[in-house]
Amino acid sequence: MNERTAPGAPLAFLAQALLADTDQCIRWPFSGNGQGWGKVYVDGRLQVASRVVCERTHGAPPTRKHQAAHSCGKGHEGCINPRHIRWATRAENEADKLLHGTQSRGARNSQAVLTEADVREIRKRAADGEAQRKIATGYRVSQASISLIVRGKSWGWLT
């Protein structure tokens, strides 16, 4: 059975979340963007629920480029607890993702072809003098990709 959301229910839930006295994550139970981020219509515009919470809690963003960042690391799971959300620059938000382990880099990236073990092996083979083109052929990636890996420009966090 497909239940429809009652008119006004998402905004009512949002209002309740803004008043909540908890340090636990408050999960958005309504529709999202397919990646866990809650969506809500406010003044006729579809918006990200956590951003609406951030605006209502902290006011307008300091700049147009500021993002609603989650201290809990659960924004992708629909957390809208005002205590967990603050304005942050993209760099600050990316640092949070790294801290929380939610950044989709390396093998966590859906577009990744290589694994961390592959990258370590590629670096070892290159250090042993094997030609980058030969390594690239074996992994079905470009020589340029191998070069970026060897120079630490790609997968640079791996040692």
The span from the first CA to the last CA of the chain, in angstroms, equals 51
- The identity of residue 29, as a single letter, is P
Bin 155: left if φ > 0, else alpha if -120 < ψ < 50, else beta.
left
Q: What is the pTM of this model?
A: 0.62
Decide if pLDDT at 2 tops 60. no
pLDDT top residue among 59 and 156? 59
% of the chain beyond a pLDDT of 70: 88
Which tens digit of pLDDT belongs to each residue from 88-141? 998 888 787 777 766 665 666 556 788 888 989 999 999 999 999 999 999 989
Question: In the CATH hierarchy, which top-level class contains the domain 9-103?
Answer: alpha beta
Q: What residues does each domain of the chain span?
A: 9-103, 107-150
Decide if pLDDT at 8 tops 50. yes
